[in-house]
């Protein structure tokens, strides 16, 4: 068994779940694909697991999200995507190519809520626009938007 599967096994067991082969492979595939939908995950795995059903994929994604091992991304107009749970972050959806990028920055509001005694469990946020790659290819935004405040600095996460 590869070391990636051993990591998934430990995460599943730590969350009180059985470490089934399907769960470990779905988590591993999701880690490789990044922001994938259920269909992409199914297509990624059905070649190596011909008996895998779409129902198993959907049920597994539901189970993994309920225990906090994956995040469910519901981006308006883009359907539901999934990603492995990690540090809180926001997303940038490119309106041209459809790619979703992780955006890491400090959220002062979350910090102030925590210092006021609230427990912040999840940070949801999605920016939409045109990514750097599409801009380099000549794509322009079709929407007029005000300039972003200078205090908002985005640092794309590596590896996704």
- pLDDT at residue 30 in the model: 92
| Best-predicted range by mean pLDDT (42-56, 65-79, 88-102) | 42-56
154 pLDDT higher than 50: no
Instruction: Report the predicted TM-score, pTM, of the whole model to 2 decimal places.
Output: 0.71
Which segments of the chain belong to CATH 3.30.1490.190?
A: 87-156
Six-digit token string for 30 = 């999701």
Which segments of the chain belong to CATH 1.10.10?
A: 3-75
Q: What is the mean pLDDT of residues 132-141?
A: 85
Task: Tell me whether residue 90 is exposed, middle or buried, using C-beta atoms within 10 angstroms of its C-beta: 0 to 12, 13 to 18, 19 or more.
Answer: middle
Question: Of the candidates 114, 75, 77, 107, which has an alpha carbon nearest to the alpha carbon of residue 91?
Answer: 75
Query: CATH for 87-156, among 3.30.1490.190, 3.30.750.24, 3.40.50.11240, 2.40.50.140?
Result: 3.30.1490.190
**Distance separating alpha carbons of residues 158 and 41, to the nearest angstrom:** 21
For the domain spanning 3-75, the CATH number is: 1.10.10
Contact by Cβ (8 Å): 64, 31: no
């Amino acid at each position: 068994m590869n070391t990636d599967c051993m990591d998934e096994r430990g995460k599943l067991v730590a969350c009180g779940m059985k470490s089934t082969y399907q769960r470990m492979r779905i988590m591993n595939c999701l880690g490789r694909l990044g922001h994938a939908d259920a269909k992409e995950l199914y297509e990624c795995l059905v070649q190596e697991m011909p008996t895998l059903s779409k129902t198993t994929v959907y049920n597994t994604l539901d189970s993994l999200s309920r225990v906090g091992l994956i995040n469910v991304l519901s981006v308006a107009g883009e359907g539901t995507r999934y990603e492995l749970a990690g540090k809180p972050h926001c997303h940038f959806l490119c309106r041209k190519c459809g790619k979703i990028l992780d955006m890491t920055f400090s959220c002062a509001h979350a910090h102030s809520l925590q210092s006021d005694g609230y427990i912040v469990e999840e940070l949801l946020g999605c920016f939409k626009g045109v990514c750097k790659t599409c801009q380099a290819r000549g794509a322009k935004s079709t929407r007029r938007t005000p300039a972003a405040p200078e205090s908002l600095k985005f640092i794309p996460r590596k590896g996704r």
